[in-house]
Chains A and B, each alone.
Chain A
Amino acid sequence: MEITAEAVRAGMAAARYVTTPRVETVVYLALVLEKPLLVEGPAGAGKTELAKVVAAMLGTEVVRLQCYEGLDASHALYEWNYQKQLMRLQADREHAGWDELKDHIFSREYLLERPLLKAISAPRRMVLLIDEIDKADEELEAFLLEVLAEHQVTVPELGTIVARERPVVVLTSNQRRELSEALKRRCLHLYLDFPGVEKEREILALKVPALEAQLRTRVAEFVARLRKLGLKKSPSIAETLDWARALVALGIRELEPGPVRRTLAVLLKHEEDLRKAEPAIAGVGKSSAVER
């Protein structure tokens, strides 16, 4: 697809991702400038989904690198298939000379591709999703710099592998720690917050069409109110959708304290949060009663 601002807008709509002009502009820029996109924001605001949507838009696949504490270069970039190399050495013990063998066992055949290398060496343009980069150690960021800025990976024994098609890189972070300046400098930055009531209603309409329009508004408003309470874990968009589906499945047509309390476990996962949400739940019945 040819990349224009309109095409991006249409593509995101086609991928059923409800968004704002700001997000569209930044995604468009990331594609045009071929810069990595760093998406920050609270958990459950649709950061990972954004990468998948970009992939769907471009008609390509997501290569996902899920970061975790202790993730190192051998799991992110590449690793030599040590066992296979050893077997080769055992098999060739009598015949081959060292030089020949050395060239052989350090060839692509003995290289295990990890996500970063896979995204770089793929024959077509991939979307590389580096998920929750804030969970990885700071050392890993240094490894990423080469991939992000130059779109290449250096394997000492093989040389530098340059991307044939530059991957679209999306990094996500929940801000559990500050990322390094060097990394931020190389990326475009996007802050993705929870959607407002309006947007959330749109999302609900798109993803849970079975929910009635009036109830949809109530659900969106209620969730927005919960997010303002400063809970330990605010309900994510996915949880809102789950809740909406639960309401549909249970045949609940009005938001009233009783049914809300029964189903709230879908939205809130901490005992403390449930207690905090109690006034909001009590308020649900009143406001709808007044309007009825």
Chain B
Amino acid sequence: MKARLEALVAALRRGGVAVSTAEAMDAARAAAAVGVERTALRDALAAALVKDERERTTYVAAFDAVFPARVDAVGEGRRRRVRRSGAAGGGGSAGTSGRGGAGDSGVATAPRGAGEPRGAGERGAATGDGSADGRSADARAPAADGRERRTPSAPGSAERAGGGRGLARPTRERRLLGLPFRDMTPADVEAAAELARAIAARVAARVRRRLRPRPTGRLDFRRTIRAAVPRGGVPFERRWRGRRPGKPALVALCDLSASTATATDVFLAILAPAAAYFRRVRFFGFVDRLVEIEFAQGQVRPAAPLDLMARSDFGRVLRDLVERDAAALTADTVLLILGDARNNRRPPRADLLAAARGRVHHALWLNPEPHARWNTGDSVIASYARHVDAVVACGTLADLERALAIVAGSL
């Protein structure tokens, strides 16, 4: 049993579920408490090990592999897959899987491919990458999940999990959160809009919390004495100095060119509800020129005509910003720029960005491209990165939420 638990924990960790030692110990105690009845054991171990419903698919797969059900037909199919994907996965993670070797990684990868060997191979490779480079696993694993979900067998395994209905939504969310914007199908974009609303609510809550006036711990002597007057000068009630930050202003520059269109749409949808917490919000759109835009009912309306097919020119956009719309840049402004910094070999004019940064409270660059593609080809993100407070990758919904959390934190 101990060895099997270890195998389960190892499989989960490889699948991207963070399991702490304490949780593994809880799992052991849980197993001791419920005994060996399979369903009860599965639920018990899940309660101790998996703290996020979105990870349940991974868990169910890992559990099925480590504690196979005694149904011959199913078992036979699985054993075959294990061998297949064991070979695929083993190659990828040979460096890290110590004692268990290829067999161990087979355990981790087999169930994901149940029903489609090709999927298993891809997933195995993704997992292998993951052990070498956490970032790429983060980005790719959920995408592989998605591929798997479309295969007819995946819902079947979800049904076997018992919580069939409950499973679908969290799994879908997890996949969407990690799906790069540029890989999204129109159906995905539609589904993402729903998720974006939830993220928007969270971001708005974060901003609101951040801007809440709160006592700084300093006694407001004058108001305390005033409050004490009716009680003969005895200070029954203390009064504190509140910190009341003025609402900041927000200036967002969004790349409207085709390469980042989806990212921009989602970004605007998430940011729009947060607008209530800023003193003033100005959205600008750009391709090769800067134009103020209005974002309402999910539609972008430029104030002036903008050629969406033009070639991006960040240098000119920055000049527009600094020379024409400088009034928008004030000392309490947060400046957000969403763009891939692909400048078509035109002058980047990073000096203008530096000038803009000097006038605002905080400047953040959101880059929808994955980290690996920064500074490749005509991308000049490095020259801009020097002049902003941070450059954040926002290729997926999850990234975007993280980036906006940083924005909220900077207020």
Contacts and interface: CB of A to CB of B under 8 A. Distances in A.
Contacts of B34: 5, 25, 28-29
Given A5-B34, A32-B33, A193-B163, A187 B43 contact: no
Contacts of B163: 22, 191, 193
Interface stretch (B23-31, B79-87, B219-227, B351-359): B23-31
B245 interface: no
Interface stretch (B44-52, B290-298, B364-372): B44-52
A273 to B, nearest CB: 14
Given A21-B43, A137-B209, A193-B165, A188 B53 contact: no
Contacts of B166: 41, 191, 193
B37 to A, nearest CB: 9
Contacts of B165: 193-194, 196
A70 interface: yes
Contact of B30 (A33, A185, A186): A33
A193 to B, nearest CB: 3
Interface string A160-203: 00000000000000001100010011111111011010000000
A146 interface: no
3 smallest CB-CB distances across A and B, nearest first, come from A193-B166, A184-B51, A191-B53
Interface string B234-254: 111010000000000000000
A41 B234 CA distance: 50
Contacts of A90: 234
B309 interface: no
A176 B39 contact: no
B194 interface: yes
Interface string B191-215: 0001000000110011011001000
A194 B33 CA distance: 27
B397 to A, nearest CB: 13
A26 interface: yes
For chain B, which range describes its interface: under 10, 10 to 19, 20 to 34, or 35 or more residues?
35 or more
Looking at A21, A25, A90, A186, which has the most chain B CB atoms within 10 Å of its CB? A25
A186 B170 CA distance: 22
A20 B235 CA distance: 57
Nearest to A227: B165
B410 interface: no
B26 A5 contact: no
A188 B33 contact: no
B277 to A, nearest CB: 13
Interface string A12-44: 000000001110011011101101001011000
A70 B170 CA distance: 29
Contacts of B50: 189
A190 B23 CA distance: 14
Contact of B44 (A26, A137, A185): A26
A50 B61 CA distance: 28
Contacts of B209: 69, 137
A25 B43 contact: yes
B382 interface: no
A185 B51 contact: yes
Given A70-B212, A86-B234, A181-B18, A40 B53 contact: yes
A40 B51 CA distance: 9
